């Protein structure tokens, strides 16, 4: 948590004397060399939900202003999983739920990548997000959730009617291959069991090789069964596989 005592004090003071409603200066007032640190941002960073609510409800405050990294407050709150501030921003109707940073990452993508299930669910349930938005690497929220091992978010996204479960990123990776490469057995099972994952893609996975991991053999079994209808059987050593 980042704390700015002076800014925090001035934000509280501004609200207490109703400065927000009276002064034209406070619209997007900033200090020092940090143009992104408006009173709204300071309040959010210090978890002052009641003050954030006052700011986002004011027509004098731009709730969608971007910081020096090209990211909005909603983007950062999704990044850290701050559900309460996100809810205030989304309910205000003044924050773009599909805003993109310079890497073309949306709030949903950040929430999915970092494993913030409640934040991801809030964005999905808002009905205002593009669940298939791609970043500069061509990865979607489902791609990242699968690659990073966030099973609950993978399940959440697979339940979205229009989700693309077969997205190819710029390196040819898919959500299924991302889960397999990183040894996430439960997510591989989840994706293989989904009718949203193309049958040909499922079948082709048995022809690929992946880095060894503790679930390597189990994943190989799943892919072989998806491709040929039956699992591999271990040989006498139990270290390699042979077809039945």
Q: What is the pLDDT of residues 34-54, one digit of tens each?
A: 445 788 888 888 889 999 999
Domain that holds residue 100: 64-242
In a domain, residue 104? The reply is yes
Under DSSP, the state recorded for 221 is: H
pLDDT (0 to 100) of residue 32: 34
**Average pLDDT value for residue range 193-210:** 81
- Tell me whether residue 76 is in a domain: yes
Residues 133, 163 contacting (CB under 8 angstroms): no
| 24 domain residue, yes or no | no
Q: How far apart are CA 165 and CA 65, in angstroms?
A: 32
* Domain-located, residue 20: no
Q: Report the domain count for the chain.
A: 1
Share of the chain above pLDDT 90, in %: 56
What is the per-residue pLDDT for 89?
A: 96
CATH number at residue 89: 1.25.40.20
Q: Please say if the pLDDT value at position 178 is more than 50.
A: yes
Residue 98: pLDDT band with limits 50, 70, 90: very high
Query: Does the pLDDT at position 23 exceed 50?
Result: no
What pLDDT shows up at residue 97? Answer: 97
Nearest residue to 73 via CA among 191, 87, 103, 113: 87
Residues near 46 by beta carbon (within 8 Å), at least 6 away in sequence: 1, 3, 4, 8
Indicate whether 72 pLDDT > 50.
Answer: yes
User: Is residue 40 domain-resident?
Assistant: no
d(CA 96, CA 187): 30
For residue 182, name the pLDDT band (cuts at 50, 70, 90): very high
Predicted pLDDT at 164: 97
Residue 15 has pLDDT above 80, yes or no: no
22 within a domain of the structure (yes/no): no
Is the pLDDT assigned to residue 220 strictly greater than 80?
Answer: yes
**Contact by Cβ (8 Å): 129, 106:** yes
In our burial notation (b when 16+ CB lie closer than 10 A, e otherwise), range 104-125 reads ebbbbbbbbbbbbbebbebbbe
Q: How confident is the model at residue 176 (pLDDT cuts 50, 70, 90)?
A: very high
Compute the C-alpha angle 48/50/53, nearest 5°.
110
Average pLDDT, the chain: 82
**213 — pLDDT class (breaks 50, 70, 90):** confident
Please list the residues that pair with 241 across neighbouring strands.
Answer: 234
The answer to whether position 27 is within a domain reads no
The reported pLDDT for the residue numbered 36 is 56
Whether residue 213 is contained in a domain is answered as: yes
How many whole angstroms separate alpha carbon 184 and alpha carbon 29? Answer: 46
Q: What percentage of the chain exceeds 70 in pLDDT?
A: 77
Confidence class of residue 234 from pLDDT cuts 50, 70 and 90? low
Q: Using CA atoms, how far apart are residues 88 and 54, in angstroms rounded to an integer?
A: 10
Cβ within 8 Å of residue 36, ≥6 positions away:
30, 65, 66, 67, 68
């Amino acid at each position: 948590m980042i704390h700015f005592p002076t800014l925090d004090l001035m934000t509280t003071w501004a609200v207490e004397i109703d400065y927000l409603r009276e002064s034209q200066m406070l619209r997007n007032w900033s200090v020092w060399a940090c143009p992104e640190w408006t009173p709204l941002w300071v309040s959010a960073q210090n978890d002052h939900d009641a003050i954030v609510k006052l700011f986002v409800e004011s027509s004098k405050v731009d709730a969608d202003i971007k910081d020096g990294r090209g990211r909005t407050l909603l983007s950062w709150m999704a990044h850290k999983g701050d559900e309460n501030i996100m809810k205030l921003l989304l309910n205000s109707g003044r924050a773009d739920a599909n805003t993109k940073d310079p890497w073309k990452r949306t709030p949903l993508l950040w929430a999915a990548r970092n494993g913030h299930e409640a934040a991801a669910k809030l964005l999905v349930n808002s009905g205002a997000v593009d669940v298939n938005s791609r970043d500069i690497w061509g990865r979607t929220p489902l791609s990242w959730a699968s690659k990073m091992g966030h099973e609950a978010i993978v399940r959440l996204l697979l339940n979205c009617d229009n989700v693309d479960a077969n997205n190819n990123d710029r390196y040819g990776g898919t959500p299924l291959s991302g889960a397999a490469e990183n040894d996430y057995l439960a997510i591989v099972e989840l994706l293989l069991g989904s009718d949203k994952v193309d049958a040909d893609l499922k079948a082709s996975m048995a022809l690929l090789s992946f880095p060894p991991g503790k679930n390597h053999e189990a994943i190989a079994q799943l892919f072989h069964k998806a491709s040929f209808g039956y699992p591999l059987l271990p040989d006498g050593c139990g270290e390699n596989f042979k077809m039945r």
